[in-house]
Amino acid sequence: MLTNFIAKFSIFTAFITLVYCIAIDVSFGQSIFRSLVVFAGFYVILILFFIVVRILFNPQSHEGIDGE
């Protein structure tokens, strides 16, 4: 559910970025590139979020080397 929301939100923000860049007279190629960076950035943040949650809530990650 969270990933579905993030996917829709990232597409929306990428589209808004594209429209905004075109409105302020940035070239179309640069606008597409900026939109793709925004889109990919949301997924990088989502992946990092899940990695952090996994580390925090995995009880085995808090054990020492000897399992103590």
Average pLDDT of the chain is 85
Quickly list DSSP for the chain.
-HHHHHHHHHHHHHHHHHHHHHHTT--HHHHHHHHHHHHHHHHHHHHHHHHHHHHHH-GGGGS-TT--
Question: Residue 45 is part of which domain span?
Answer: 2-58
Q: Considering the domain boundaries, does residue 49 fall inside one?
A: yes
Q: Considering the domain boundaries, does residue 68 fall inside one?
A: no
Q: How many domains, the chain?
A: 1
**For residue 46, what pLDDT is reported?**
85
The pTM score is 0.70
Q: Considering the domain boundaries, does residue 63 fall inside one?
A: no
Average pLDDT over residues 9-34: 92
